[in-house]
Amino acid sequence: MRDGVTGDKAGGEWAAGAAAGAHGGGALAWTEELPERQRRQFERYYEMLVDWNQRMNLTGITEKQEVYIKHFYDSVWIRELPAWREVMKPGACAVDVGTGAGFPGLALAICHSDCEFVLMDSLNKRVGFLQAVAAELGLSNVQVVHARAEDAGRDKAYRERFDCVLSRAVARLNVLMELMLPLVKVGGMAFAYKGPALDEELAEAEGAIQTLGGGVHRSVTFTLPQGAGTRTLLCVPKQRKTPAAYPRKAGVPQKSPLAPRG
Ligand SMILES: C[S@@+](CC[C@H](N)C(=O)[O-])C[C@H]1O[C@@H](n2cnc3c(N)ncnc32)[C@H](O)[C@@H]1O
């Protein structure tokens, strides 16, 4: 199967250009287009990931080709979307909620030295790893924050401050929207990286999207190189301010997700 963007639920124009940039070939083929400095940074990131992984749980995937496809490429293919380029102009600021070992935020920070990336996670052990990688790679555009997204969303240093909020593999959409949307500026975008099946999760999350200030969302499906699977990205524009009652206290969105309809 050819890799690349294969669909857009809200109209073809939105994903236009993405398929043209799709990559075939081997697991590392996509890195050939990168400047030498970025290629070296990904190489060193990989080495540190497998080294630190012996001492802490960072990833279940350690084989090089797999890491390059399922972590690195999976994180950065978003750059081909017009919707991404629209919000991530030079000087823009993104936050990755529940970044773990840095996916997708740290991988994107390597590719966008002209934008700022905040990597947020509630687990302090991972924060140490991220700081070490950012220092080693000389990424001055990265700030690592140990926080729960619910607390950050109520803190004026972070609330509605970001052009873009990213998140991969953190929670179901009805919970995730409450972690992400309060952090997005009006006019910005939330990008949720998801697996192949989105419809059921999306139906559950419509109420949360509406309540939290989200607008008409779009999704795009793409296939990773070398038959490594299909992924869906949900893009939710922030249209209105999030009401002051949200996000609720840490843990509440998980225990009592917002109702499916607003
Ligand atoms: C399954 S890992 C995914 C990590 C990474 N995004 C990836 O795709 O490889 C989920 C991460 O989300 C973090 N997390 C979970 N709930 C969170 C919250 N409310 N605020 C911040 N981080 C959270 C966890 O500590 C963990 O590192």
Q: Is 149 in the pocket of ligand 1 (CB under 6 A)?
A: yes
Q: Is the pTM of this model over 0.90?
A: yes
Centre of ligand 1 from the C-alpha of residue 13, in Å: 32
Q: Is 107 in the pocket of ligand 1 (CB under 6 A)?
A: no
Q: Is 165 in the pocket of ligand 1 (CB under 6 A)?
A: no
Percent of the chain whose predicted confidence (pLDDT) is above 90? 84
pLDDT in tens, 98-149: 999 999 999 999 999 999 999 999 999 899 999 999 999 999 999 999 999 9
Confidence of residue 5 (pLDDT cuts 50, 70, 90): very low
For residue 123, with 0-12 CB atoms within 10 Å meaning exposed, 13-18 middle and 19 or more buried, which class applies?
Answer: middle
**Which domains does the chain show, CATH number per domain?**
4-255 (3.40.50.150)
Q: Is the ipTM of this complex over 0.85?
A: yes
Per the prediction, the chain carries an average pLDDT of 91
CA distances from 134 to 21, 75, 108, 113, 142 (A): 28, 16, 12, 12, 7
**In angstroms, rounded to a whole number, what is the distance separating the alpha carbons of residues 21 and 79?**
10
Percent of the chain whose predicted confidence (pLDDT) is above 70? 90
Mutate to test the pocket of ligand 1, among 170, 172, 174 (most ligand atoms within 8 A of CB): 170
**In angstroms, rounded to a whole number, what is the distance separating the alpha carbons of residues 172 and 177?**
9
Q: Is 61 in the pocket of ligand 1 (CB under 6 A)?
A: no
Q: Is 181 in the pocket of ligand 1 (CB under 6 A)?
A: no
pLDDT in tens, 16-69: 334 333 555 678 889 999 999 999 999 999 999 999 999 999 999 999 999 999
Centre of ligand 1 from the C-alpha of residue 180, in Å: 12
